[in-house]
Amino acid sequence: MGKLYLVPTPIGNLEDMTLRAIKTLKEVDLILAEDTRTSSKLLNHFNIETKMVSHHKFNEHATLDKTIMRLKSGENLAVITDAGTPGISDPGFLLVRECKEHNIDVECLPGATAFVPALVTSGLSSDRFLFEGFLPHKKGRQTRLLQLKDEDKTIILYESPHRLIKTLKQLAEFFGETRKAAVSREISKLHEENKTATLSELIQYFEAKPVKGEIVIIIDGFNKKLNDN
């Protein structure tokens, strides 16, 4: 019986790749990559010659049985995504669940995840938090925002740059313009930015400048005492 490795990859800075991740990717029999074109740059940089095949949200259901058969035959496989830890708003969950059903060992290496640096640099409470990932784009979006507006834990969202302003305005509408929040972008890259302010201030700030890079939004939890005053 083989083993499945979930291998985090850098979210921006190649120097964040761990020695253990490099060693694992060199030693496994096959790498399942979200985008082989993106991952080939990473593998070439670290002289990793292991064969890759595509494993993304559009084919993961279709390739599941074949992948399980390879693992059962004794092959060791690794899953990588374009950036960050597999299974966190990225492919990986379905394969891990299937491995558990077939008693196949799964090991996740520690490494890059975008929301952790965004949370700890925000200055907002990190004692208790709720990771939401991406909000629904259309159906169910307003319902989910209504459910979250009275959540007392710190809330973590992922967002794309072209939807940032729209999302901040919706958050201000449902949570109130004075709710504290933070926006992090380009984490670990040259132009990394972390901005903490009220939702209304964040809207003003990001409306006045072009926004690039993947976005993490951290929202302060609902404070009943403050809202009762």
- HEC profile of the chain: CCEEEECCECCCCHHHCCHHHHHHHHHCCEEEECCHHHHHHHHHHCCCCCCEEECCCCCHHHHHHHHHHHHHCCCCEEEECCCECCCCCCCCHHHHHHHHHCCCEEEECCCCCCHHHHHHHHCCCCCCEEEEEECCCCCCHHHHHHHHCCCCCEEEEEECHHHHHHHHHHHHHHHCCCCEEEEEECCCCCCCEEEEEEHHHHHHHHHCCCCCCCEEEEECCCCHHHHHC
CATH number listed for the domain at residues 115-228: 3.30.950.10
pTM here is: 0.90
Instruction: Indicate the pLDDT class of residue 227, thresholds 50, 70 and 90.
Output: low
- List pLDDT tens digits, range 104-142: 999 999 998 999 999 999 999 999 999 999 999 888 999
Per-residue confidence (pLDDT) for residue 16, from 0 to 100: 95
Per-residue confidence (pLDDT) for residue 20, from 0 to 100: 98
Q: Is residue 180 over pLDDT 80?
A: yes
Q: Is residue 48 over pLDDT 70?
A: yes
Rounded Cα–Cα distance for residues 152 and 173 (Å): 17
Rounded Cα–Cα distance for residues 194 and 121 (Å): 7
Domain locations in the chain? 3-108, 115-228
**CB-count exposure of residue 72 (10 Å: 0-12, 13-18, 19+):** middle
- List pLDDT tens digits, range 79-102: 999 999 999 888 899 999 999 999
Question: What percent of the chain is modeled with pLDDT above 90?
Answer: 86
Taking residue 100's Cβ as centre, other Cβ atoms within 10 Å add up to: 12
Per-residue confidence (pLDDT) for residue 91, from 0 to 100: 87
Q: Tell me what the pLDDT averaged over the chain comes to.
A: 94
Spatial CB neighbours of 130, under 8 Å, sequence gap ≥ 6: 148, 151, 153, 154, 155, 156
Per-residue confidence (pLDDT) for residue 194, from 0 to 100: 97
> Maximum Cα–Cα distance for the chain, whole Å?
64
Residue 5: phi and psi, rounded to 5, are -110, 130
Instruction: Indicate the pLDDT class of residue 181, thresholds 50, 70 and 90.
Output: very high
Per-residue confidence (pLDDT) for residue 178, from 0 to 100: 97
- List pLDDT tens digits, range 154-166: 999 999 999 999 9
Q: Is residue 225 over pLDDT 80?
A: no
Report whether 183 contacts 206 (CB < 8 A).
yes
Q: Is residue 229 over pLDDT 80?
A: no
Q: Which residue type, as a one-letter code, is found at position 182?
A: A
Give the mean pLDDT of 57-82: 92
Give the mean pLDDT of 158-175: 97
**Architecture in CATH of 3-108:** 3-Layer(aba) Sandwich (3.40)
